A and B are shown apart, each in its own frame.
Chain A
Amino acid sequence: MSKVLIRGAKVLGGAPQDVLIDGAQIEAVGSGLSAEGAEVVEADGKVLLPGLVDLHTHLREPGREDSETVLTGTRAAASGGYTAVFAMANTFPVADTAGVVEQVYRLGRQHGYCDVQPIGAVTVGLEGRKLAELGAMHESAAGVTVFSDDGKCVDDAVIMRRALEYVKAFGGVVAQHAQEPRLTEGAQMNEGVVSAELGLGGWPAVAEESIIARDVLLAEHVGSRVHICHLSTAGSVEIVRWAKSRGIDVTAEVTPHHLLLTDELVRTYNPVYKVNPPLRTERDVYALREALADGTIDIVATDHAPHPHEDKDCEWAAAAMGMVGLETALSVVQETMVETGLLDWAQVAERMSFQPARIGRANGHGRPVSAGEPANLTLVDTAYRGSVDPAGFASRSRNTPYEGRELPGRVTHTWLRGKATLVDGKLT
Chain B
Amino acid sequence: MDNKQDKQQDNAQDRQGGQQDPQPQSDARPVLEGPDIARALTRIAHEIVERAKGADDVVLLGIPTRGVFLAQRLAAKLEQITERKIPVGSLDITMYRDDLRMHPPRALARTDIPGDGIDGKLVVLVDDVLFSGRTIRAALDALNDIGRPRAVQLAVLVDRGHRELPIRADYVGKNLPTSLRETVKVQLAEEDGRDTVLLGAKRTAPGAQH
A and B touch in the complex (CB under 8 A): no
Interface positions of B (Cβ within 8 A of A) = none
